[in-house]
Structure 1
Amino acid sequence: MPILERGKEFVEKVTGWQRPSSDDLERLLRSRKANTFLFKDDGIIPNHPFWPLVVYHGVAKLPAKYDPAAIFEDLFARNGWQKSWRNGIYNYVHYHSRIHEVLGVARGSAEVQFGGKRGRSLTMKAGDVAVLPAGTGHECLYAEDDFLVVGAYPLDGIYDECKGKEDHARAVKTIPKVAKPRQDPVYGSSGPLSHLWRVSRKGREAK
C-alpha cells in the first residue's frame, strides 16, 4: 500500500474523517446489473469450475467529500468481507485457491485481464466492483497513474497466492471446497451473488 494511502486509512479509522455514515453509504449505492463471466481451466489458471466472475459497473457514487477507498472499505465490511487493503492489481497473472476476493475501484481506471491468457480483458473504472470466485486469474495490463483498488475477503477462507503451473494440481482440489460467501459484498443478503453462486448439499453446482 502506498505510504499516503496507509496514512489516510489510519487517520480515517481513528477520527472518521472522510468516511461515510451508514445512511450516507446507503445513498451512495446504485442498483446495477450483475455481469457474469465464466472461464475455463487452461491448464495453468484453473479458474472456478462453475461459479462466474461477477462485475458491477458504476455501483458506487464517489463524491469528493468522501475518501473513495473508505466507501468501498465500509461497504464491503458491512457485508462481511473483511481484511481490506488499498493498492493496485499485480501486473502478472495470479489467483487465490483457498479464498474468494472482491475488488472495488476507488480511483482511476485500468485494463484488467480476468481468467488467464485465454480469459477476457475488461476496463475497470472508479465505482466498479469485481467479485472473483476462488481460482479466478487476474492481472493488470495497463493502469492510469492514480489507479487505486480496495480488496477484501469473506470471513471463511485462507489467503494464498498462486501463479504458475506448479500450483495447478493442488489448486483444482482446493478451489471447489472454498465455502460460498454468506453475503454479496455489495448488496448483502439480497444481492444476486446468492443465486449466481449456487451450491447443492454436496457442495456442487445446483442445476
Structure 2
Amino acid sequence: MSKADNGRQIPDGAIETFMLPPDGLLPNNQALPVIVYIGALRDHPERTEQIFNDNGWLNSWQNGVFSYHHYHSNAHEVLGVMSGSASLQLGGDAGRTLAVSAGDVLVLPAGTAHKLLHSSAGFRVAGAYPGGTDYNTRRATPDDLAAALPEIAQVPLPDSDPAYGKAGPLLEAWGAGG
C-alpha cells in the first residue's frame, strides 16, 4: 500500500486502467484510459460525494446511471458507488461490462460512453467533474458525434485525483498534474 497526499491508503493492485476504442457513434477517448479504483471508498461509501468535492471534483450529484448509452464530450466524469451494486457497460455495445459495488470509483475521460445494464435495489452513485465543469450529455447520434470529437480533444486534464487528491494515481495515468 502507498499513501496519497490526503493520508488515504491506496491499495496495491486495486486499480485497473483500460482504453476503449470508438464504437460506431460513440467516440470514447482515444488519448486517456478509463480508471477503475476497486473498493477505494469501501470503508465509507456514504462519504463518496464529499471526498470528490474535497479533492476539487465538484458540480456533484447523487442518483443512478442512465439506462442508455451516453457520454460527456466537454468534461471528464467520476462515478463513485455509494450503495448497492450494478452492471455498467462502458464504451458501447462492443465495450466492457463491469460489475460495480459500494466503494468502487470509475474515472471516465471525456467521450467515454456508459450505461446501466441492471442494478440492485438501492443502487446509488455520486458523480462529479474536475473543477465543477458544467457538463453536457450526448448520445449515439451522428450530430452529437460530429460536435463531440473536437470538444473531447479540448478538455483539460484535471489537477487532482477525485479519490486521492493531488498525489493520486490518476495524475500519473493521465500525465496530468505536473
The reply to whether TM is greater than 0.5 is: yes
1:62 Cα deviation (Å)? 3.6
Name the structure 2 match of 1:31. Answer: 10
Do residues 44 (structure 1) and 25 (structure 2) align?
Answer: yes
Contact 1:110–1:143 (8 Å) recurs in 2: yes
The gaps in structure 2 that reach 5 residues or longer are 1-5
Do residues 190 (structure 1) and 167 (structure 2) align?
Answer: yes
Name the structure 2 match of 1:136. Answer: 112
Contact 1:30–1:58 (8 Å) recurs in 2: no
Which segment drifts farther, 96-105 or 40-49? Answer: 40-49
Letter in 2 for 1:50: A
Name the structure 2 match of 1:82. Answer: 58
Do residues 174 (structure 1) and 151 (structure 2) align?
Answer: yes
- Report percent identity of matched pairs: 43
Structure (1 or 2) with the greater helix fraction: 1
1:30 Cα deviation (Å)? 4.2
Name the structure 2 match of 1:105. Answer: 81
Q: How far apart, CA to CA, are the structure 1 residues paired with 2:98 and 2:72?
A: 19
- Aligned alpha-carbon RMSD (Å): 1.6
Q: How far apart, CA to CA, are the structure 1 residues paired with 2:69 and 2:30?
A: 18
Contact 2:73–2:138 (8 Å) recurs in 1: yes
Q: 1:89-128 counterparts in 2 under 5 A?
A: 89-128=65-104
- After TM superposition, the runs of 4+ consecutive aligned structure 1 residues lying more than 3 A away are none
Q: How far apart, CA to CA, are the structure 1 residues paired with 2:103 and 2:96?
A: 20
Residues 151-188 of structure 1, C-alpha deviations (whole Å, 9 max, x = no match): 11111643100002220011111101100001010111
Q: How far apart, CA to CA, are the structure 1 residues paired with 2:163 and 2:28?
A: 22
**Superposition TM-score, scaled by structure 1 size:** 0.77
Q: How far apart, CA to CA, are the structure 2 residues paired with 1:86 and 1:158?
A: 16
Q: Give the 3-state SS of the residue equivalent to 1:173 in structure 2.
A: helix
Residues 22-46 of structure 1, C-alpha deviations (whole Å, 9 max, x = no match): xxxx68x442332011011123110
Name the structure 1 match of 2:3. Answer: none
Contact 1:52–1:133 (8 Å) recurs in 2: yes
Q: Give the 3-state SS of the residue equivalent to 1:130 in structure 2.
A: strand
Contact 2:58–2:132 (8 Å) recurs in 1: no
Which of 39, 42, 55 matches 1:61? 42
Size of the aligned set, in residue pairs, is 168
Question: Which structure has the higher relative contact order (CA within 8 Å, separation 6+)?
Answer: 2
Structure (1 or 2) with the greater strand fraction: 2
Letter in 2 for 1:168: L
Q: How far apart, CA to CA, are the structure 1 residues paired with 2:42 and 2:33?
A: 25
The gaps in structure 1 that reach 5 residues or longer are 1-25, 200-207
Residues 124-143 of structure 1, C-alpha deviations (whole Å, 9 max, x = no match): 11010000100000000010
